Amino acid sequence: MVGRKPYFIAAVFLLPALLLYTLAFIVPIFQTAYMSFFSWNGIKNVALEYVGLQNYSAMFQKPEFYRSLKNIGVFILASFLLILPVAFALAHIVTSKMKGRRFFKIAFFMPSVLPLTAVGLMWQFLLKGEGGLVNMVLSAIGASSLTHDWLGEPAIAIYVVVVVNAWIYCGLNMIIFASGMVAIPEQLYEAAAMDGAVGFKRLWYITVPMMQETLKIFSILAVTQSLRVFGQIFVMTGGGPNGATDVPTTLLYYESFKYNNFGMGNAIGTFIIVAALLSTVVLNKLMNTKTMK
């Protein structure tokens, strides 16, 4: 009995947090999945109508749903082609011995701690078609032909929002990469330098291989954050123009709170949860297999 006492004490201390996590996260997940099989308009005294898989069938028949998945693909692609290299480079700067690195660390990380609503509104004003600072600067330097209604043109709006999203999250991922870099033993770099591995060779043969776990964390966060992106899109474009920047979370919001179709909203929410879980499992499997090789 004495040997079990430490485990009992640990369980007692963990129980409140576990109960809170269950009530705040696990229970709502099952409620979302349950509600996705019903039709309900959100009014308290209105009875739920069981419809089976009709909400899912209707969801997969909506062209805007597939357009939202395409936009998620753009976000994921931008995470690996834009956020990853920029955040990696920033992490290399803030972990170097250059002067002013503390200032750069704060400056690069600042966008990640600002409220998404404030950031979205700021960029909305900057990117206005008329009176926006970006267009004013382009006109001032004689590049009026490059001015656009950045958030009002369907062909480019999603790419503009993706760039803003990268600006927001590069700082956060910089911290993730920096934590991986400082964990690499300095002796490895010293040994590599004696063998002639400097500059890019040092980066490619020492830094990158030693950061496989960090890259796995980044990959999982990149996909899951892309699946649940909402705030900056809702504030900047509201999913427009004409649904050009819609993602599953904006569809969820409009189906539930604009059209009072809570069954469909819960079906979309369940899809997001399942997609996030599956992508996490698959990426874990793929990255673990690659690390073992």
User: Which stretches within the chain are classed as H helix?
Assistant: 5-21, 27-35, 54-61, 63-78, 84-94, 101-113, 116-126, 133-140, 157-182, 186-194, 200-202, 208-210, 212-227, 231-236, 248-253, 262-292
Q: Tell me, what's the pLDDT at 209?
A: 85
232 near 75, Cβ under 8 Å? no
> What is the pairing mode between strands 38-39 and 49-50?
antiparallel
* Closest among 190, 26, 31, 176 to 91, alpha carbons compared: 176
Question: Is the four-CA dihedral 134, 135, 137, 142 of positive or negative sign?
Answer: positive
pLDDT of residue 289: 66
Residue 232, pLDDT score: 93
Q: What's the pTM? A: 0.90
Q: Is 94 exposed, middle or buried (0-12, 13-18, 19+ CB in 10 A)?
A: buried
Q: Is 206 helix (H, G, I), strand (E, B) or coil?
A: helix
C-alpha span between 85 and 181 (Å, rounded):
14
Q: Name 226's Cβ contacts closer than 8 Å, sequence gap at least 6.
A: 72, 75, 76, 79
Instruction: Identify which of 210, 180, 177 has the alpha carbon closest to the alpha carbon of residue 192.
Output: 210
Task: Write out the chain's pLDDT in tens, 293 residues.
Answer: 455 667 778 888 888 888 998 998 899 999 999 999 999 988 888 888 999 999 999 999 999 999 999 999 999 999 999 999 999 999 988 888 788 788 888 888 999 999 999 999 999 999 998 889 999 999 999 998 889 999 999 999 999 999 999 999 999 999 999 999 988 888 888 787 777 777 777 888 888 888 889 999 999 999 999 999 999 999 999 998 999 999 999 999 999 999 999 999 999 999 999 999 999 999 988 887 655 55
Q: List all residues 6 or more positions away from 56 whose beta carbon is below 8 Å from its beta carbon.
A: 36, 267, 271
Q: Per-residue DSSP letters for 53-113?
A: THHHHHHHH-HHHHHHHHHHHHHHHHIIIIIHHHHHHHHHHHTSS-TTHHHHHHHHHHHHH
Q: Look at residue 156 in the predicted model and tell me its pLDDT.
A: 94
